[in-house]
Structure 1
Amino acid sequence: MDYTQLGRSGLTVSRLVLGTMNFGPHTDEPTSHAIMDAALDAGVNFFDTANVYGWGAAKGRTEEIIGNWFAKDASRRDKVVLATKAYGHMEAAERPWPNHDRLSALNIRRSAEASLKRLQTDHIDLYQFHHIDRRTPFEEIWQAIDVLIQQGKILYAGSSNFPGYTIAQANEAAGRRGLLGLVSEQCLYNLAERRAEMEVIPAAQAYGLGIIPWSPLHGGLLGGVLKGRSGAARRATGRVPEALADASVRARVQEYEDLLDRHGLAPAEVALAWLLTRPEVTGPIIGPRTPEQLTGALRALELDLDPELIASLEELFPGPGPAPEAFAW
């Protein structure tokens, strides 16, 4: 297992991040525990979750599954860099009661305490803002985070789904308080969706943040979905059929799968391996529903993509180009 530094934090983390959003809604607790066992045995030490995972009336269930896994063996907690998130409301009703969502100081405190209880731990290594809160000033957000850090309940803060300008705003506000600020950004980034290269990644690099891409297979579109490879259909989200209805998208995915067939490579593994070639990427988030899917993801660490293949992939799925030139007409 390869390891790297998580942005400007002092944390050393694995190059793959175990995403747990399927634990509960799609993967039962015993299987979820088996996946975590296998991940830890393989050297994956970075686990990512969120308070809302479990979804619907079962929000929080994913954190509970992880907490029960920790409770079975107390030594596991010290081996894991644990990340969770706050923003969305935890109510079963569609509309939350006021102050039960977003990033007010009240909700940050309430959400952190509830996550600690569900996770059965005394601290969270990386506490992430799941989305932007355009109503709450960063001065208030950082005040709440500073209190949690002083209490020893969280160690570092990160963002998720932030645009570049908000990463800058957040870190400038933190700097005025003498705080470290954000150490990571979790964003949509993969071979087929490269818009993060325009502003998000340059901002993250300028402020020393690690990039943690979510949806590295673009909802399953890059997982070998056209040729029915093992597990490809299960990885695909509901958006994939809609995307493939576009003839140009389908043709590009077909070219992608044909290219990798000629090289004898699995599309899902190559999509992960391509992200691992990007120097700005800390590690992509994998979301296995089964132990077999975890095994397949781990194989990406063993791939050494040929420069010519990388060039072919990037010709097929071109990025926007370097910023600010990418914005030119």
Structure 2
Amino acid sequence: MELSAHLGRTGLRIGRLALGTVNFGGRVDEPESHRLMDHALARGINLVDTADVYGWRVHKGYTEESIGRWLAGRPARRDEVVLATKVGNEMGPGPNDRGLSARHIIASCEASLRRMRTDWIDLYQMHRVDHAVGWEEVWQAMEQLVGQGKVRYVGSSNFAGWNLAAAQEAARSRHFLGLASEQCVYNLATRYAELEVLPAARAYGIGVLVWSPLHGGLLGGAVRKLAEGRAVKSAQGRALTALKDRRETVVAYERFCDEIGRDPAQVALAWVLSRPGVTALVIGPRTPEHVDGALDALELSLTEPELVRLDALFPPTGRGGAAPEAWNS
């Protein structure tokens, strides 16, 4: 499997795995997070993905500040890293401290630059769509930031397929590159992206970054870890909720992984990496060992019979594939 790929139709190359930082400032303290970033970079993971709101367990913006201290520790790192952050979440009590208004986009970019101690953001992602703001306003703000050299590429996150289409058509009318990437949830247990998000991204040449490829730990051996008393992420959040409804399926999945002699987490990651249109996976490791385990998934090629078994365990939505054929009888 290729270890790097172009981000959509752009010339920017990123590793097939990206380092997600949502655990930094809470589950992972600063010294360990800096060691994780060093380790990931040394192993060829060049995209560091964060958001202005991350670190909220300490205070909003803490994770960007921590990344800034890491970058300042060895300035040469900045040229090695593809730095991605996000905008759109509530960052303060005021009515303009959230959303995708031109005011908030520009102010948030300036704040992120200060926190991360950098002159530019490689990938500036809208964390979620803002239905109250028109695309003319959004692209006006993004064009200003790109023109000033503060942003290299613009991305989205948690968009629907029609949001991607609307955004790109508006950008095209302005002769602007528009979206370089969409970051969406996608894994064996959550396959909605196959209906419209992935097809829209492919049609417009938008790269796809996948968050929660293990469904919050559900697909990383959750049943076994719970039985052994060593579950962390899989003992909370979306993984625990899903396990209540899908325990039998997850048990069968872990049994299948035992049959083929593979780690459940590596199987789940390899499956997403094999999907058409997927550029990279955003992983949220807490230890260097987690990073190494995820990298091993890059060397795993699932056979056609194994893929068929996985489809049987975790069926696609409707008839499978893209809409509207997926739901046509």
Alignment TM-score, normalising by the size of structure 1: 0.95
1:205-246, Cα deviation, whole Å (9 max, x unpaired): 111111111100011110101111889612323233332222
Going from structure 1 to structure 2, the CA distance change for 1:238 and 1:75 (only over 3 Å counts) comes to same
Partner of 1:296: 293
Going from structure 1 to structure 2, the CA distance change for 1:187 and 1:218 (only over 3 Å counts) comes to same
* Letter paired with 2:273: L
Report SS of the residue matched to 1:85: strand
Are 1:18 and 1:48, in contact at CA under 8 Å, matched by a contact in 2? Answer: yes
Going from structure 1 to structure 2, the CA distance change for 1:181 and 1:45 (only over 3 Å counts) comes to same
Report SS of the residue matched to 1:228: helix
Shift of 1:311: 1.7
Are 1:224 and 1:232, in contact at CA under 8 Å, matched by a contact in 2? Answer: no
Percent identical pairs in the alignment equals: 55
Going from structure 1 to structure 2, the CA distance change for 1:287 and 1:301 (only over 3 Å counts) comes to same
Distance 1:30 1:156 in 2: 30
1:131-163, Cα deviation, whole Å (9 max, x unpaired): 010001000000000000000000110110000
Partner of 2:152: 155
Partner of 1:170: 167
* Letter paired with 1:107: H
* Letter paired with 2:63: T
Are 1:85 and 1:129, in contact at CA under 8 Å, matched by a contact in 2? Answer: yes
1:18-48, Cα deviation, whole Å (9 max, x unpaired): 1011111211111001000110110111111
2:29 aligned with 1:28? yes
Runs of 4+ in 1 over 3 A off after TM superposition: 229-232
5 Å-filtered alignment, 1:1-329, equals 2-56=3-57, 58-91=59-92, 96-228=93-225, 233-236=231-234, 237-246=236-245, 249-320=246-317, 321-322=320-321, 323-329=323-329
Distance 1:232 1:100 in 2: 39
* Letter paired with 1:90: M
Are 1:223 and 1:232, in contact at CA under 8 Å, matched by a contact in 2? Answer: no
Shift of 1:124: 0.4
Are 1:3 and 1:13, in contact at CA under 8 Å, matched by a contact in 2? Answer: yes
Distance 2:243 2:22 in 1: 24
Going from structure 1 to structure 2, the CA distance change for 1:232 and 1:87 (only over 3 Å counts) comes to farther
Distance 1:271 1:254 in 2: 14
Shift of 1:318: 1.7
1:153-196, Cα deviation, whole Å (9 max, x unpaired): 00110110000011011001111111011011100101111111
Distance 1:136 1:241 in 2: 35
Are 2:233 and 2:239, in contact at CA under 8 Å, matched by a contact in 1? Answer: no
| Bigger mean CA deviation after superposition, 15-24 or 314-323 | 314-323
Q: Structure 2 regions of 5+ residues with no counterpart?
A: none
Shift of 1:263: 1.2
Are 1:223 and 1:235, in contact at CA under 8 Å, matched by a contact in 2? Answer: no
Report SS of the residue matched to 1:125: strand
Distance 1:109 1:9 in 2: 23
Report SS of the residue matched to 1:99: coil
| Bigger mean CA deviation after superposition, 314-323 or 224-233 | 224-233
Q: Structure 1 regions of 5+ residues with no counterpart?
A: none
Alignment TM-score, normalising by the size of structure 2: 0.95
- RMSD, aligned CA: 1.5
Distance 1:49 1:159 in 2: 13
